[in-house]
Amino acid sequence: MNSAIHESIKMYAKVLKLPSFTQYQDVIRQLEPNMGLGEMLLELMKKECNSRQDNQLKRRIHTAHFPVTKTLEELNMSCFENIKPTFVHQLASCDFVKTRRNIIMIGPPGTGKTHLAIGLGMKACALGYRVMFCTAATLSTELCEAKDTYRLSKLEKTIGKADLLILDELSYLSFNRHQSDLLFKVVSERSERASIIVTTNLEFSRWTEMFENETMVAALVDRLTFRSYLLDMNGSSYRLNNAIAND
């Protein structure tokens, strides 16, 4: 095939937004000798479809803002003392996102809460769901800054578009009344509309250590635990056990 035709194919592939079609020569080389034009076209279309799915997944993972990439396959579930691997596999189907249920993980530092949350978030991305990851401290700061700069409505809409919000480390600091109100609004607006995963070191009875308003704490816990899975992550350190196992 002459270069003029090749360049024309590249041009039309760009115009039609079919970049995989520029790789037609690779597809032709892989075809069986008795395959015809239809088979070649089918393989090109499959290649384009797979490429688009891969790119969409990469965009969803990038948009989620995971601090690190962690998968459930990397998770040593034998270290969990109170959670059965079969239950984790059930959660990995992400039916909880489809049915708008929440997951609350409670346990001390180092027990695998963040790894499990990110792993479930990655599964949700792979299934086409929009995911947003943030620590409670970061989200509260961003909400306050957005309100001060008149961007709160825009940020709340962005959060609301996420099928799954992962709120990590709800326990490391206290929130003032202003921050508490904004976080409460985010959680309340997701109730029965979209899923949220919360990781925390503190039992619900100690959430008054984070939030000033006890009435608001009761309402917050009520909304989070409604139609939720509560995961008991208490036990020995996942990080330590995993390090010993891999030593």
Query: Domain check: are 101 and 194 in the same one?
Result: yes
Query: What is the band of 76 on the pLDDT scale with cuts at 50, 70, 90?
Result: confident
Q: From 63, 81, 113, give the residue that closes a domain.
A: 63
Same domain, 53 and 160: no
Local structure of 67: helix, strand or coil: coil
With a CB cutoff of 8 Å and minimum separation 6, the contacts of 190 are: 160, 165, 196
Q: Are residues 146 and 79 in the same domain?
A: yes
Give whole-number Cα distances, 130 to 56, 72, 78, 146, 217, in Å: 11, 18, 29, 22, 28
CATH number, domain at 82? 3.40.50.300
Q: Are residues 104 and 182 in the same domain?
A: yes
pLDDT above 70 for 245: no
Domain boundary among 40, 63, 86: 63
Let me know whether 132 and 201 are in one domain. yes
Tens-digit pLDDT profile for residues 152-205: 999 999 999 999 999 999 987 889 989 999 999 999 999 889 999 999 999 999
The b/e string for 118-154 (b: 16+ C-beta within 10 A; e otherwise) is bbbbbbbbebebbbbbbbbbebbebbbebbeeeebee
Domain that holds residue 56: 3-63
The span from the CA of 23 to the CA of 229, in Å, is 47
Instruction: Please give the tally of structural domains in the chain.
Output: 2
**10 Å Cβ neighbour count for 176?**
11
Residues 114 and 137 in one domain: yes
pTM: 0.86
